[in-house]
Amino acid sequence: MLNKSIRIIAILLTALATCIIVPRFSRMLFSTHSNYKDVVYSEVLNDFIISEYEYKNINGKISGITIYKDSKGNRYTREQADSLCPLNNASQLTYDGKFPDSICGKNISAKDADDAIFHMNIAGRYNELFYGLSELKDQKSYLSNKYEPKDLFRIKENGIEFIVSSTNTIDEKKSKLFNSELEQLGFTAPAITWWSPADRTDFEKIGYFVLDSKGELFRLSMNDGRPDILRLNRPDEKKILNINFSNRPEFLAIIITEDGNSYVMDRNFNYQALPLPSLRRGAFLQGNLMHLTFTTHEKEATAYYILDKNYKLIKQLTIGDKKVASLQETIGSYLFPVKISQNANYGIQFHFSNPFHFIWLNIVLALATFFIKKRNGYPINDAFAIIDIIVVLVLGIFGMAGVFAIPQRKSKQI
């Protein structure tokens, strides 16, 4: 009985290994075309320039070229596309000697245009991997050249605690000083989470944005060893889902609230609502000297929103991403019923193919397993033989690989 149980475990482990290896071989066997597509806003046309691959079959050989077109379908060469988007192509146009003297009636230098370009990922929710222990930099830490962890803190049920890293003990005096200030401002321990700017200068100056247990927002900082704490308003008094700090002088952060609404926070901690759809799943921000482009992804569409520097919507475009299933995907829907993916915006996701595809295939494979075993003289009337059939019925081709990789004995079983 023990040996038979070990065989079943070995079958399941083989099936697991097969479900990792076989999909990789499948991707190697079937060549797929790239679905590359990029969208840039043209301040010259007041329209979008879409670049994508176009495939042609020439004498049986498939080749791809990048084409450029606007939202109306008008085509352009790469050089024309660069000139229609001068703010995003300042370096290339300068190299070609084609950077314009003015853009949209404004005198703009190539250096200013190039320096203004930035990119920023906007997460809809805060990182769930949160250690609960951070370092609070003093606003005057720039005066020291020492880069040693010093004021480590955590915010538990009894309030903030500062840890002396060299002795791993609690700094009772500093903890009491900060807790007194927090209590006067209405802070309710423990903290849900906290965020800090990635930029070192902002980090020293601002410190952390902290959510207390009631969802109220506080700015936690330290100046010359003493607490420098502010209680901040929340955007429209809504629950905050995430804070995305920028390193731009124009704004400090983009804040996402629980309803998916987004707000830009300036460096005086004032808010302005952004005219965007729900950003609970995040977005990608590209900025230049004149406008901001927010890109959001849904399952079958990608949307682009163009805002001016006053955060007013000036243009938007939605492009469907629904694709015709390739041969690889069609075969995969039968062989691989579940696909697991993970990314920052969606987390871990399970994608199920058409259940009727793999259910019918599994039934066929289970019947094939039964007849192969019977024809080759394997015992098929005991409980463990039936378990083999069930494994194939549930796990399909992966279970079948395990069953035949770890065979039964024809007479006395091992």
pLDDT tens-digit map of 48-99: 999 988 877 777 676 778 899 999 999 999 999 999 999 999 999 999 999 9
How far, CA to CA in Å, does 235 sit from each of 207, 220, 269, 301? 20, 18, 10, 29
The confidence score (pLDDT) of residue 414 equals 41
Residue 61: how many CB atoms within 10 A of its CB?
7
Nearest to 255 by CA among 211, 207, 316, 302: 211
The confidence score (pLDDT) of residue 337 equals 62
Range 122-140 average pLDDT? 81
The confidence score (pLDDT) of residue 346 equals 52
The confidence score (pLDDT) of residue 386 equals 82
Asked whether 259 and 236 are in contact (CB, 8 A), the reply is no
The confidence score (pLDDT) of residue 10 equals 85
Calpha distance 154→156 (Å, rounded): 6
The confidence score (pLDDT) of residue 144 equals 66
Range 247-274 average pLDDT? 95
Tens of pLDDT, residue by residue over 356-367, are 667 777 888 888
Amino acid, res. 373: K
Ranges 6-10, 128-132, 135-139, 147-151: which has the least confidence: 128-132
Mean pLDDT of the residues in the chain: 85
Is the predicted pLDDT of residue 185 greater than 90, yes or no?
yes
151-156 sheet: strands from edge to edge:
134-135, 151-156, 159-164, 169-170
pLDDT band (50, 70, 90) for residue 217: very high
Is the predicted pLDDT of residue 317 greater than 90, yes or no?
yes
Range 5-23 average pLDDT? 77
> Residue for token digits 């915010």?
155
The confidence score (pLDDT) of residue 299 equals 73
Is the predicted pLDDT of residue 36 greater than 90, yes or no?
no
* 262 vs 387, higher pLDDT: 262
The confidence score (pLDDT) of residue 140 equals 85
Share of the chain above pLDDT 70, in %: 82
- Residues with Cβ within 8 Å of residue 194, at least 6 apart in sequence: 134, 155, 208, 209, 210, 211, 220
The confidence score (pLDDT) of residue 413 equals 44
Range 204-227 average pLDDT? 95
Range 99-121 average pLDDT? 93
pLDDT band (50, 70, 90) for residue 221: very high
* 134 vs 332, higher pLDDT: 134
